[in-house]
Chains A and B, each alone.
Chain A
Amino acid sequence: MMSSAEPAIAVTGLRVVRGAREVLHGLSFEVPKGQITGLLGPSGCGKTTLIRSIVGVQVVAGGEVTVLGRPAGSAELRRLIGYSTQNPAIYRDLSVMENLRYFAAVLGAPKTDPARVLREVGLEGHADQLGGTLSGGQLSRASLAVSLLGSPQLLVLDEPTVGLDPVLRKELWELFGGLAERGVTILVSSHVMDEAARCQRLIMLREGDILADDSPEGLRARTDTADLEQAFLRLIEERQPA
């Protein structure tokens, strides 16, 4: 589903300074509506900082971030964005269901939502299990479930598939695909290149700069490579002065 009108996210000249270091050096890009956009790059390249800036929880040094037509961090956006942090943000001393019921109440989501999102991430069998007793993969799925509450228009997911087995990863990507077909915009970060192929658009980040912003096919064609790992390396080589 291509939506031409206004983008879901528009970033211009975004600069973020953390401590004495500039982490993002004036990024500009757009994320189209109703698509899965992958945010790729090695760990430490600024993915999480960029995601936090879009969600509106990051102190920003300069530039503009517009999300669904409003400045990032606006009060109206807080119900429209589903956000999943890199570390599973789940209360370890509550059961999965208790976690979901609480966050559903905070968002004002329907009473049926906790059961729905539990099904969507395949955790039905663990509803009454305490967060602290879940495995790493189950924890990150529980955290993902929270971000699906209230049917947000934009999903911002920071490395949601870390530590999952290939079957589960495939299922989650099918879930993302289904959501995108219903018009939900998804921005998902990953450092695993093979996941990039499942995105409709890729933004490659390295050391706080955008290396590429293209479709997977476009990237492969431009760098004349078969896989995206190679494409990434080729782009880095191009950047370096010979």
Chain B
Amino acid sequence: MITLATARRILAQLRNDHRTVALMVLVPSLIMILLYYVIDNEPVFAQWAPALLSIFPFLVMFLVTSIATLRERTSGTLERLMASPLRQLDLLLGYGLAFGAAAVLQVALALTVSLTWLGLDLRGDLWALVLVALLNSLLGTALGLFCSAFARSEFQAVQFMPLVMVPQLLLGGIIVPRDQMATVLEWISNVLPMSYALEAMKLAVMSGDLGSDFWRDIAVVAGSVLLALVLGAATLKRRTP
């Protein structure tokens, strides 16, 4: 009940902010189009597209959540909520639901553009791709919430984005295949959730192979979401110093 009211409230906040919604929904599609024309080669574009489709939901939701929850912390609304019957999980799931819905919209548009205009060839099932994108957006939301606890200002919160994002991209196997990295880097890559999200997205889009590898990847990403939610909940203290 409170979870749903919270999700509705966050969506209402988004609705009142047209520019943010426009940026959230349109930018991924615009970048897909830009990438298509920069590469100018459909098979190569088809290799990059799944990576981008899994990065956007994570990236955008991480940014939006870390700023939104930082605002709740600094404006006193979080203190008001912590003095109310709302449970920490209500807030976390509320953010997850609201931004998950926003992510679906975002991916739906980017995907429509990619599959029609940009001629992306989807071998796998559509639902598999949407599932990965949704899990990625939830992972971004949960990690954003967790990281916002360590930022004192919006300047700092934004700086967490490259910190969380860039290593995961460099080690995620899109630039250099993971098994060709130095052993230590491969180990690190093995514990970063984005490695599994990228692999699952590749399997879903390019080979249509939804076998045990795909489901193992999904399980790892889902587990990371749960872990990040627990970590995020731990940063929401009823009593603060």
Contacts and interface: CB of A to CB of B under 8 A. Distances in A.
Nearest to A85: B76
A222 to B, nearest CB: 35
B13 A91 contact: yes
B86 interface: yes
Nearest to B74: A87
A100 to B, nearest CB: 11
Interface residues of A, number: 34
Given A79-B85, A93-B13, A58 B239 contact: yes
Given A92-B75, A94-B12, A98-B9, A103 B85 contact: no
Contacts, number: 80
B75 A87 contact: yes
B72 to A, nearest CB: 9
B142 to A, nearest CB: 21
A57 B82 contact: yes
A88 interface: yes
Nearest to A83: B83
Nearest to B241: A59
Contacts of A107: 84-85
Contacts of B75: 87, 89-92
A171 B85 CA distance: 30
A155 to B, nearest CB: 12
Interface string A101-113: 0110111100000
A106 B84 contact: yes
Question: Which size class do B's interface residues fall under?
Answer: 20 to 34
A225 B74 CA distance: 42
A162 to B, nearest CB: 14
A102 B98 CA distance: 14
A78 interface: yes
A73 B238 contact: yes
B76 A87 contact: yes
Interface in B39-84: 75-77, 79-84
B18 to A, nearest CB: 11
A78 B76 contact: no
B16 A106 contact: no
A105 B16 CA distance: 20
B123 to A, nearest CB: 42
B130 to A, nearest CB: 28
Interface string B1-40: 1100110110011001100000000000000000000000
Contacts of A204: none
B240 interface: yes
A102 B1 CA distance: 11
Given A58-B239, A83-B80, A102-B12, 20 more contacts: A52-B79, A57-B239, A58-B240, A60-B239, A73-B239, A79-B85, A81-B83, A89-B76, A89-B79, A91-B75, A93-B13, A94-B13, A98-B12, A103-B80, A105-B1, A105-B5, A106-B2, A106-B5, A106-B81, A106-B85
Interface of A: 18-19, 52, 55-60, 73, 75, 78-79, 81, 83, 85, 87-95, 98, 102-103, 105-108, 130, 146
19 contacts: A52-B79, A56-B238, A57-B82, A57-B239, A58-B241, A59-B239, A59-B241, A60-B239, A85-B76, A89-B77, A89-B80, A91-B13, A91-B75, A93-B16, A103-B84, A106-B2, A106-B81, A106-B84, A107-B84
